Chain A
Amino acid sequence: MAAVNGELALTVLMGLLLVGVAAWLARVENWRSYTPLGSGGVYGGETGQAHHEKPSGLTRWLTTVDHKDIGIMYGLYGVIAFLIGGAMVMVMRAELLDPGATLISNTFYNSLLTSHGITMLFLFGTPIIAAFSNYFIPLLIGADDMAFPRINAIAFWLLPPGALLIWAGFFPIPNLIPAQTAWTMYTPLSAGVGGGNQANAGVDLMLLGLHLTGVSATMGSINFIATIITERAEEVTWANLDIFSWTILTQSGLILFAFPLLGSALLMLVLDRNFGTTFFVNDAGGAILWQHLFWFFGHPEVYILVLPPMGIVSLLIPRFSGRRLFGFKFVVYSTLAIGVLSFGVWAHHMFATGIDPRLRASFMAVSMAIAIPSAVKTFNWMTTMWNGKLRLTTPMLFCIGFVQNFIIGGITGVFLASIPVDLVLHDTYYVVGHFHFIVMGAIAFAGFAAMYYWFPLVSGRMYQRTLGKAHFWLWIVGSNITFFAMVLLGYGGMPRRYATYLPQFATLHQIASLGAFLMVIGGLIWLYNFVVSYFEGPVVTDGDPWNLKEYNLYTGEWEWFDRKLKTTITDGGDEEVATDGGLHGPVGAETADATDSDDSGRAMDANDE
């Protein structure tokens, strides 16, 4: 009886939802308006703002297919995920302050561990990169928009429900518990067999959510490949394509080969869990099969995450060193080399599984080889700065922090790639230290460098420089304390993924938590700085806030910004003012003086030194 009632309620609910959606669509698609149709011949990027680009309010954000809006939504999404993933890990670091399980249960620790990893990699890492690529690639290559704007919007809108599914186990829903499989989802644990609790639907929801983010990333990658290949302005050739676009192109290629594989493997796992298939049954070698499939995706995934940040760093370091990128061609070649090689190293995650030693040796060789193009890039960044006119602005500081952390992360990686060393250090905190130097110390650092660098362009205002510097120093000190302590813990033999530990590890764990705490303070300073500056920061009136013209290093997106400043009211660059109520006439030469009439705009000296 109850089941029937439930079914009925669901049916009514679904019916209402569909009717609501249909009604909204009908209303919105009949939007009656005073403006004639078909006036949108020119795109905003070309001549300032076309008059009726977007509807207003919430409808605008729900219906936008503009790459800049979508970029902003990706950015907001990534930042929210970063805050949530950060909060999760702080609970874990608090638990690790003492050896026993004092604060939370072991199972809850495992849930947080799983969710932290997945949140940071799939809900923060990939989306925050997509934020910059969506907003800036079309501007950098002189395209009107992405090649497929609607697919772009679909790709974004898959992410919020994906996040809800991934976190569903934490919500107060009866009979639902969070996944405790770790981000690698190793079978047989994740297949839900045996006496554990991982047959729970919370794990299925997490797998589905992950699948959605994979579909989203794949759609995005197809879009970027098509955009960069076909939508470049005439003057943008392969020879002078900027470095960020190169890395996004390579990254998209990696996504195209890696993510569909993850998607299929996830579906196979879901089938195993719910429909009695036997892909990953243990006695048939299924556990190793899962590891092969997962890492064939998983290793390229780490390069999917690191290549675009490398592109950002390669773009920014020259701009604050007053000279062009040293060995530009070699940076591009090494990007492509990493892209190809990254598919040939996956079994270095499986050295300890007992796979054939001859296979193991070949994976060791390729893993060591991939360090070469990585080192090429590192030396190029250093030689770009060498004897340059360095301007230690906040974005530049974060880029230098990237290089420092990447060096430690990369070198620890080379040690792990050596089989005998790995057999000792596998599944210890050394591995955790290694990849955090890269994912937090490098990838997140580059993300924040980019946020500071383009903040004036997106918000039309400047952030507070002192706070930016404070953020940087707290992070560079905090990340090195935390992750170096982890490397040492690994040398000591502390295994990863445990809520409790032997008393001898207490000091190093407390030091790691201290560093994490410093990073939290830095992060809060960043949040405060960006929120306050977004509303009250000094208005940017100069299309070249970083003085790039002086060094002949001006780029397309700032040109676009400059045009926009000259053609819209400088109230902070909020396009909605111009589009909502049609406050001013069509933008053209006659309104170009609007900039000058704004006397409140404090001309800012954005050298940020």
Chain B
Amino acid sequence: MDENPGLSDQYRTSSPWPVFVAFGFVISEVGILFGLFPVAVGGLLMFCGSLAGLVHEAGYASTPWRMLAALAVVFLAAGGALATTDVAATRGYAILVAAGILLVGAVVGELVVDSGPTPV
């Protein structure tokens, strides 16, 4: 990616991820609490996606995909637990759906994007 530097490579004091980590956190909190299925899913995707992007960018991981998978596993467990309850089953399903999408994303990323010829 060197010949095509991104914002965060180019400007030392910039990173596009924090703002979306924060917003994703907020959106998923609101979505889960009020049982707004799409909002919960979308918020979690935004939160986990940008968290993985941030960890990758900060140099703690060489690719974002494993981090994404790890987050997916955590939320699979949490969503699975919630789904078995009476009061919050739908919320649990929302978390499960988000975790599933994240897991697929992580696998695709690992297999396709990083081994493909031109990274996006």
Beyond A55-B7, A64-B13, 19 additional pairs, beta carbon < 8 A: A7-B38, A25-B16, A29-B7, A31-B6, A37-B9, A43-B12, A52-B12, A53-B11, A54-B13, A54-B14, A62-B19, A65-B18, A154-B18, A154-B22, A157-B23, A161-B22, A162-B26, A205-B30, A211-B29
- Please indicate the chain B residues that have their CB under 8 angstroms from the CB of A154 in the complex: 18, 21-22
Please tell me if the beta carbons of B16 and A62 are within 8 angstroms of each other in the complex: yes
With most chain A CB atoms within 10 A of its CB, the pick from B7, B29, B30 is B7
- Please indicate the chain A residues that have their CB under 8 angstroms from the CB of B83 in the complex: none
What separation, in Å, do the CA atoms of A470 and B31 have in the docked complex? 48
Chain B residue, CB-CB nearest to A50: B12
A149 interface residue per 8 A CB criterion: yes
Please tell me if the beta carbons of B87 and A275 are within 8 angstroms of each other in the complex: yes
- Please indicate the chain B residues that have their CB under 8 angstroms from the CB of A32 in the complex: 4-5
Please tell me if the beta carbons of B25 and A30 are within 8 angstroms of each other in the complex: no
- Please indicate the chain B residues that have their CB under 8 angstroms from the CB of A150 in the complex: 15, 17-18, 54, 57-58
What separation, in Å, do the CA atoms of A55 and B8 have in the docked complex? 10
Chain B residue, CB-CB nearest to A153: B18
Which of these, A21, A153, A162, A274, contacts B15 with CB under 8 Å?
A153
- Please indicate the chain A residues that have their CB under 8 angstroms from the CB of B36 in the complex: 10
With most chain A CB atoms within 10 A of its CB, the pick from B12, B42, B57 is B12
What separation, in Å, do the CA atoms of A33 and B19 have in the docked complex? 23
Which of these, A14, A50, A60, contacts B39 with CB under 8 Å?
A14
Please tell me if the beta carbons of A157 and B18 are within 8 angstroms of each other in the complex: yes
Chain A 151-195, CB within 8 Å of chain B: the 1/0 string? Answer: 101101110011001000000000000000000000000000000
What separation, in Å, do the CA atoms of A519 and B9 have in the docked complex? 48
B14-57 contacts to A (CB < 8 Å): 14-23, 25-26, 29-30, 33-34, 36-39, 41-42, 45-46, 53-54, 57
With most chain B CB atoms within 10 A of its CB, the pick from A31, A151, A212, A276 is A31
Please tell me if the beta carbons of A28 and B42 are within 8 angstroms of each other in the complex: no
Please tell me if the beta carbons of A153 and B19 are within 8 angstroms of each other in the complex: yes
Total residue contacts A-B, CB cutoff 8 A: 134
- Please indicate the chain B residues that have their CB under 8 angstroms from the CB of A59 in the complex: 7
A310 interface residue per 8 A CB criterion: no
In the complex with contacts A29-B7, A55-B7, A161-B26 CB distance below 8 A: yes
CB distance from A71 to the nearest CB of B (A): 13
A26 interface residue per 8 A CB criterion: yes
A40 interface residue per 8 A CB criterion: yes
A63 interface residue per 8 A CB criterion: yes
What separation, in Å, do the CA atoms of A275 and B19 have in the docked complex? 30
Chain A 32-50, CB within 8 Å of chain B: the 1/0 string? Answer: 1101011010010000001
- Please indicate the chain A residues that have their CB under 8 angstroms from the CB of B39 in the complex: 10, 14
- Please indicate the chain A residues that have their CB under 8 angstroms from the CB of B42 in the complex: 14-15, 17-18
What separation, in Å, do the CA atoms of A18 and B28 have in the docked complex? 13
What separation, in Å, do the CA atoms of A256 and B42 have in the docked complex? 30
CB distance from B25 to the nearest CB of A (A): 7
- Can you name 16 A-B pairs with beta carbons within 8 Å? A7-B38, A11-B38, A15-B42, A18-B45, A25-B53, A26-B120, A31-B5, A31-B6, A31-B7, A32-B5, A33-B10, A37-B9, A53-B14, A145-B13, A153-B18, A215-B25
What separation, in Å, do the CA atoms of A26 and B45 have in the docked complex? 16
- Please indicate the chain B residues that have their CB under 8 angstroms from the CB of A98 in the complex: none
Chain A 259-270, CB within 8 Å of chain B: the 1/0 string? Answer: 000000000001
- Please indicate the chain A residues that have their CB under 8 angstroms from the CB of B13 in the complex: 53-54, 64-66, 69, 145, 149
- Please indicate the chain B residues that have their CB under 8 angstroms from the CB of A275 in the complex: 87-88
- Please indicate the chain A residues that have their CB under 8 angstroms from the CB of B88 in the complex: 275
- Please indicate the chain B residues that have their CB under 8 angstroms from the CB of A29 in the complex: 6-8, 16
Chain A residue, CB-CB nearest to B9: A37
In the complex with contacts A18-B46, A154-B22, A165-B30, A65-B7 CB distance below 8 A: no
- Please indicate the chain B residues that have their CB under 8 angstroms from the CB of A151 in the complex: 18
CB distance from A509 to the nearest CB of B (A): 39
In the complex with contacts A17-B42, A150-B58, A158-B26 CB distance below 8 A: yes
B72-90 contacts to A (CB < 8 Å): 87-88
Please tell me if the beta carbons of B38 and A52 are within 8 angstroms of each other in the complex: no
Q: Can you list the 9 inter-chain pairs with the closest CB atoms, starting with the nearest?
A: A29-B6, A157-B22, A153-B18, A14-B42, A40-B12, A66-B13, A11-B38, A161-B26, A63-B14
With most chain A CB atoms within 10 A of its CB, the pick from B4, B5, B25, B58 is B5
Chain B residue, CB-CB nearest to A209: B26
Please tell me if the beta carbons of A63 and B19 are within 8 angstroms of each other in the complex: yes
CB distance from B55 to the nearest CB of A (A): 9
What separation, in Å, do the CA atoms of A162 and B120 have in the docked complex? 33
CB distance from B61 to the nearest CB of A (A): 14
CB distance from B4 to the nearest CB of A (A): 6
Please tell me if the beta carbons of A274 and B58 are within 8 angstroms of each other in the complex: no
- Please indicate the chain B residues that have their CB under 8 angstroms from the CB of A54 in the complex: 11, 13-14
